[in-house]
């Protein structure tokens, strides 16, 4: 039987890996689970991604790319007449106010770097890019890096506790970091 031409198979596998992680967490990621989700033969997943780390990196790269594209759009849309603390508070609020499962997926993949050393450079690259985007607005690399840490912490706390978003509390924290 001739081999079927399937130019989108690699992308379907990545998309399936993202859905598997979203539904089952990192612990549920396996070549077999992804193959079933993508409706491809098991050999296709190992052909395109020799290891689970390779698959995890591809999934994180895609999710990070989407997240950073959103941050870049936010940076372009920031009103220079509005205090940065207000704009960053809006960013956090909009991120948490949308599809919670998407934010959970982003952090699940991001935090996979704790256990998967191969993923760490990609997670670090995402942090560095976000800090650079914020530096463009703050003018200071240290403040930008502190804001990235604060935003990550605020978002993780919200996801973990399920607390109501407190706009005033977030704005106050962001304003303190900005100075």
93 and 37 share one domain: no
**Which of 50, 74, 91 is where one domain is finished?**
50
148 close to 178: Cβ distance less than 8 angstroms:
no
81 and 34 share one domain: no
Total number of domains in the chain: 2
The CATH number of the domain where 167 resides is what?
1.10.357.10
Phi-psi region of 145 (alpha: psi -120 to 50; beta: other; left: phi over 0): alpha
CB atoms within 10 A of CB 38: 21
67 and 105 share one domain: yes
75 and 138 share one domain: yes
| Mean of pLDDT over the chain | 90
98 and 63 share one domain: yes
Burial class of residue 19 in the structure, from the number of CB atoms within 10 Å of its CB (0-12 exposed, 13-18 middle, 19+ buried): middle
> What pLDDT is recorded for position 110?
84
Q: What tokens does 24 get? A: 């089952």
pLDDT > 70? residue 3? no
Reported as a single tens digit per residue, the pLDDT across 136-159 is: 889 999 999 999 999 999 999 999
148 close to 130: Cβ distance less than 8 angstroms:
yes
The CATH number of the domain where 26 resides is what?
1.10.10.60
Range of the domain at 5: 1-50
Q: Is 137 helix (H, G, I), strand (E, B) or coil?
A: helix
User: Which of 154, 146, 152 minimizes the C-alpha distance to 176?
Assistant: 146
DSSP state, residue 7: T
């Amino acid at each position: 039987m001739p081999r079927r031409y399937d130019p989108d198979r690699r992308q379907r596998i990545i998309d399936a890996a993202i859905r598997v992680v979203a539904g089952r967490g990192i612990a549920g990621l396996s070549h077999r689970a992804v193959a079933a989700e993508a409706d491809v033969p098991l050999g296709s997943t190992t052909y395109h991604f020799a290891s689970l780390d390779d698959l995890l990196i591809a999934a994180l790269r895609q999710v990070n790319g989407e997240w950073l594209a959103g941050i870049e759009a936010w940076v372009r849309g920031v009103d220079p007449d509005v205090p940065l603390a207000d704009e960053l508070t809006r960013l956090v609020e909009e991120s948490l106010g949308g599809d919670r499962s998407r934010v959970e997926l982003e952090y699940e993949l991001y935090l996979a770097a704790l256990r998967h050393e191969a993923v760490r450079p990609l997670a670090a690259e995402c942090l560095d890019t976000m800090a650079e985007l914020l530096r463009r607005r703050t003018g200071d690399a240290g403040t930008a890096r502190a804001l990235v840490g604060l935003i990550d912490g605020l978002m993780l706390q919200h996801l973990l506790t399920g607390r109501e978003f407190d706009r005033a509390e977030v704005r106050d924290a962001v304003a303190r970091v900005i100075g």
